Amino acid sequence: MFDRKLKALNYYEWDKVDGKDMQHFRKVVLWLEDQKIRNYKIEERSGLRDVTSEEWPISFNKYCEDLKCPETSPLDKLEWLINLAVRLEFEDNFEKYQICPQTKEKLLQEVPVVKSSNPLDNLDFHSSAFKGGTDTIAKLLNIPGHPDHLVTLHACCKLVHKRLNPSVIANPNSIIVKGKPFPIFEVDSGTNVGDKVLANAVKCLSLLYIQDLRDLQTKINEAIVNVQSITANPKTDTRLGKVGV
């Protein structure tokens, strides 16, 4: 499981390492400290260097504590040490592992260019022509303009989706509001903001919030009805039934 990382670190027996073999395990740890990590001074590595000693696990645990290695299994600790060595190797040779400009340019040239057949993918959404078209649509739909033309476009999309979809056009009465208008600006909002214009804005936001809640409740009710239609009318296979013993 460590082969590729040890090979990248130029470990001499990268293809022969067996993490479950204690001698292999200890040799790798010692090599990582000697060649890559170098957290200890040379004279402080004697505990790790004596790979045949029964006290080696004690030295190894202390070594892991000094490196702030997480408390995990020995194999996980070894993998953590190898990953640390890879990171240190990269930091020490940062420029060596950077892609040279010639190679980078070649890679960019080799990237395939995908041409979409969808004309919308080729639009420039910030061009003057697109902004002018958005303003024209907004005026046709009687939607106030916004400094950000994309916000205006989003408002147009919402209006078209809710009031100009095929089902509404086929049955306009389903969307036309009937009855006496609600006197929204005459109702107390319940908050005292000290400004009439701001108070009216608060009332509008409150109604929009209530509308969102109603839409959410409608979707919840639809989900409940769909689930009940399945659970209340289970399909059974009478051929599987048995009569008698």
Q: For 147-204, how does the pLDDT look when each residue is reduced to its tens digit (9 = 90+)?
A: 889 999 999 998 898 888 888 888 888 777 777 877 877 777 777 777 888 888 888 8
More confident residue, 37 or 114: 37
What DSSP string describes 129-183?
HHHHHHHHHHHHTT----SSHHHHHHHHHHHHHHHSSHHHHH-GGGTS--SPPP-
* Whether pLDDT at 37 is above 70: yes
pLDDT value of position 223: 92
More confident of the two residues 240 and 231: 231
What burial class does residue 113 get, using C-beta atoms within 10 Å of its C-beta: 0-12 exposed, 13-18 middle, 19+ buried? Answer: exposed
| CA dist., res. 216 & res. 211, Å (int) | 9
Distance separating alpha carbons of residues 48 and 33, to the nearest angstrom: 9
Q: What is the DSSP string of 34-72?
A: IIII--S-GGGGHHHH-TT-TTHHHHHHHHHHHTT--S-
**Strand ranges (E), the chain:** none
Report residue 234's pLDDT band, with 50, 70 and 90 as the boundaries: low
As a whole number, mean pLDDT of residues 121-147 equals: 88
What are the extents of the domains in the chain?
3-97, 129-178, 180-229
The residue type at 15: D
* Phi-psi group of 116: left, alpha or beta (phi > 0 → left; psi -120 to 50 → alpha; rest → beta): beta
Cut 0.75: pTM above it? no
Spatial distance between the Cα atoms of 205 and 158, rounded to a whole number of angstroms: 17
Cα 7 to its chain centre, rounded Å, is 32
Residue 36 and residue 89 in contact, taking contact as beta carbons nearer than 8 Å: yes
pLDDT at 106: 63
